[in-house]
Amino acid sequence: MIRTGKLMAVCDPIAERAQEFASKYNCNFYFSLEHLLRSEPAVDLVSICTPNGFHASQSIAALNAHKHVLCEKPLCLHPQDGRAMIQAAKNADRRLFVVKQNRYNPPVILLKNLLKEDRLGKIFSFQINGFWNRPHAYYLDTWKGTRDLDGGTLFTQFSHFIDLLYWCLGDIKKVQAITRNYEHPDIAIEDSGVAIIEMLNGATGTLNYTVNSFGKNMEGSFTIFGERGTIKIGGEYLNTLEYQSLNGQSVELTEPMRQANLYGFYQGSMSNHDKVYDNLTLALQDPQHEFASAYDGLKTVEIIRQIYTSSGMV
C-alpha cells in the first residue's frame, strides 16, 4: 500500500525527546499540545501516545481544534470521559479512533472470520489468559502503576484482550472478579486478577491475567468452545494457532507472524502499527471501512470498569 500521510510535527514536554524525534523525521517540534494545535493549521490528524490519564483531555483539545484523532489504547480511564470524547468529535464533525493493533494479528483475523462465517456455531464458553512479566524496574520513576495515569493492569497491559472479547463475542451481561497485588507493593494498582464473565449471547468464560509470570512473558491466548468447533489462538501474544477441532475443513495461517514490540528489558504486544495507519487512511476515506472506533474503545473501558467494580478496585 502507498502511504499518503506525512509527519508534520511532534510534541513532547521533554525538550530533548521532542527535538531528537523531530530531527530524525524532519518535522517541527513543540513542548505543549496547545502550542502545536495553534501553530499547525495544516495538520489533519493528531495521534495521542501519552500516558493513559491524559488521553481524554488531549483528544478533546485536538478535536476542538478540528483535527481527527487516533488515540492509543486505552481510549480513556473512565466511561464518562469516553462519552465526552465522542461528543467532542460529533461537535467538531471529526473522527475519533483508537489503536487496536492486535486485531491485525493473523490468528486473530482467522478467528474473527470463523465467527463471521458461523463456522463454530453457537458459542458455549471461552477462556482468556494473559500471563506476562513486568519487573519492578518497569514501574520505577514513571507514571506506570499509578491510579490517575495508569489506571490498572487491564488498561495498560490487557485492554487488547478485552477488546478482542467484545469484538468477537459481543457485550457482557455480568461479571464476578477478584484482583490482587502480590509482587509489586510500590504500585497503586493490581498485578493479577481473575474474572468469571457471562456474555449477552449466553456464553460464559474466564479471564485470568497477571504480570507476575516469572522472568518473561509466557502466554496470551483466547480459546473458544462452540457447538461446531473448538479453537485456541495463543503463543505469547495471540500470535499462534495452538489447536483446533472443527466440524469440517481445518484452517491454516497464511501470513507469517511478526516479532513483538521490544521495549528494552521487556516485550509488549505485537508490531502491527503500520497496519493501523494503513487502515486509518482507508477509514478516513471511507466511513464504512472497518476500523477500531471510539465506540469500540469506550466499550473496552466500560467492561474493564465493570471488572474492577466487581472486584472492589474502584
Show me where the domains of the chain are located.
9-98, 103-271+294-311
In CATH, the number for domain 103-271+294-311 is 3.30.360.10
| CA-based nearest residue to 85, from 106, 102, 71, 101 | 71
CB contact at 8 A, 293 and 98: yes
Q: What is the arithmetic mean of pLDDT over 225-243?
A: 96
Q: Supply the pLDDT for residue 32.
A: 97
Residue 203 or residue 260, greater confidence: 203
Q: How far apart are CA 173 and CA 204, in angstroms?
A: 10
Fold for 9-98, please state it.
Answer: Rossmann fold (3.40.50)
223-226 LR contacts (CB < 8 Å, sep 24+): 223/126, 223/127, 223/128, 224/111, 224/115, 224/120, 224/123, 224/125, 224/126, 224/168, 224/169, 225/123, 225/124, 225/125, 225/126, 226/120, 226/121, 226/122, 226/123, 226/124
What's the confidence (pLDDT) of residue 262?
61
HSE-up of residue 126 (Cα within 13 Å, Cβ side): 28
**% of the chain at pLDDT higher than 70:** 94
pLDDT of residue 5: 87
pLDDT tier at 65 (50, 70, 90 boundaries)?
Answer: very high
Quick one: cell of 181? 497485588
Q: Please check whether residue 181 is in contact with residue 145, taking contact to mean a CB–CB distance below 8 angstroms.
A: no
- Tens of pLDDT along 118-165? 999 999 999 999 999 999 999 999 999 999 999 999 999 999 999 999
